[in-house]
């Protein structure tokens, strides 16, 4: 009854062993030489400048723009297969794609009206 689970059990044990060995092994085998340069942020040899704690690293605006870009950029992915198969899909494909784009434009209208596209 439980025989099929044996490979899974082994896989689980192997996975857990790999995790434990790599974590513990790193601690045991790896050299422990900490110095200031090693603990610093990696900045290509430039001495890292102290940042005031209160200053955010990037303005939040960057993140907002990045998020909007990702979403609207990736949605276009569905247009490619549709464009390739457009001839076969015909009117049905067109209607579905218009419905899809209308939904994307609803989101666009929201972003635009709420000032997501202003850079100030």
Partner 1 sequence: MTPTDIPAPSIAYGPLWPMIAVFLAAAIGVLVEAFVPARRRRPVHLVVALAGLTGGLVAVALVARNHHHPTLIAERAVAVDGPTLFIQGTLLLLGIAAVLLLGERSLDSTGGTFVAAAAVVPGSRGERQLTASSTMQTEVFPLAMFALGGMLLFPASNNLLLMFVALEILSLPLYLLAGLARRRRLLSQEAAVKYFLLGAFSSAFFLYGIAMLYGYAGSVDLGAIFTATGTVGSNDTLLYLGIALLSVGLLFKIGAAPFQNWTPDVYQGSPTPVTALMASGTKVAAFGALLRVFYVAFGPVRWDWRPLMWGVAILTMGVGAVLAITQTDVKRMLAYSSIAHAGFILTGVVALNRSGLSGSLFYLLAYGFSTLGAFAIVTLVRDADGEATHLSQWRGLGRRSPALAGIFALFLLAFAGIPLTSGFTSKFAVFSAAISSGATGLVVVGLIASAVAAFFYVRVIVLMFFEAPAPDGPTIAVPSVLTYGAIALAFAVTVVLGVIPGPLFTLADKAALFVR
Partner 2 sequence: MTPAYYLFLSAILFTIGVLGFLLRRNAIVVFMCVELMLNSVNLSLVTFARMNGTLDGQIMAFFVMVVAAAEVVVGLAIIVSIFRTRRSASVDDANLLKY
Footprint of partner 1 (CB under 8 A): 1-2, 4-5, 7-8, 11, 60, 84-85, 88-90, 92-93, 103, 106-107, 109-110, 112-114
CB-nearer residue toward partner 2: 1 or 99: 99
* CB count in 10 Å sphere of residue 100: 14
Task: Between 68 and 89, name the residue whose CB sits nearer to partner 1.
Answer: 89
The site partner of 29 among partner 1, partner 2, none (C-beta below 5 to 8 Å per kind) is none
Q: Which residues bind partner 2 (CB under 8 A)?
A: 15, 18-19, 22-23, 53, 56, 60, 63, 66-67, 70-71, 73-75, 77-78, 81
- Using the 8-state DSSP alphabet, how is residue 2 labeled? -
Q: Is the dihedral of CA 103, 104, 107, 112 positive or negative?
A: negative
Residues 6+ positions from 65 with CB-CB distance below 8 Å: 119
Q: Which is nearer to partner 2, 67 or 95 (CB)?
A: 67
Tokens 């666009």 map to which residue?
108
Query: With CB cut-offs between 5 and 8 Å by kind, which of partner 2, partner 1, none does residue 56 bind?
Result: partner 2
What secondary structure letter does DSSP report for 33? -
101 binds, among partner 1, partner 2, none (CB under 5 to 8 A by kind): none
What is each CA distance from 17 to 4, 20, 26, in whole angstroms? Answer: 21, 5, 14
């Amino acid at each position: 009854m439980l025989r099929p689970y044996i490979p899974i059990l082994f896989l689980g044990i192997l996975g857990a062993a790999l995790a434990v060995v790599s974590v513990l092994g790193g601690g045991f085998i790896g050299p422990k030489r900490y110095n200031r340069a090693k603990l610093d942020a990696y900045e290509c040899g430039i001495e890292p400048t102290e940042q005031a704690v209160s200053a955010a690293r990037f303005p939040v605006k960057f993140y907002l723009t990045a998020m909007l870009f990702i979403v609207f950029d990736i949605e276009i992915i569905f247009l490619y297969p549709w464009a390739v198969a457009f001839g076969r899909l015909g009117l049905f494909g067109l209607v579905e794609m218009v419905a899809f784009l209308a939904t994307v434009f609803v989101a666009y209208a929201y972003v635009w009206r709420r000032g997501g596209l202003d850079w100030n």
